[in-house]
Amino acid sequence: MKMLVNVIFPIEPFNSMVRNGTSGDIINRVINDIKPESIYFSEQEGNRGAIMIVEVPDASAIPAIAEPWFLNFEAHCEFRIAMTPDDLMRANLSKLAEKWNDVHLV
């Protein structure tokens, strides 16, 4: 399944790593290990950040994705399942609606 991974890097230790020239090498090493389908870098919550799409076979793959960011950058990681339009169609929303048709919002 595809997972959206949001990574937020705190200002420190990242600033120190930029200053001593290690940030780029470590980021490349992490990316080469995780092998995301895609990755983009951006500002998030006033910090440096990254957004990745990764393919995960099951939940046991999450630590191998998160730990390099945690251990190297003290980063904050968020994980979200990502569905394609085909995935959403296979969910059969109309059948779910029928199943829960008797439940009404107050």
CA distances from 19 to 12, 13, 41, 73 (A): 11, 10, 19, 14
Do residues 49 and 6 make contact, with C-beta atoms less than 8 angstroms apart?
yes
Q: 52, 69 in Cβ contact below 8 A?
A: no
pTM score of the predicted model: 0.85
Mean pLDDT by 10 residues, the chain (106 residues): 97 97 98 98 96 96 97 98 93 90 77
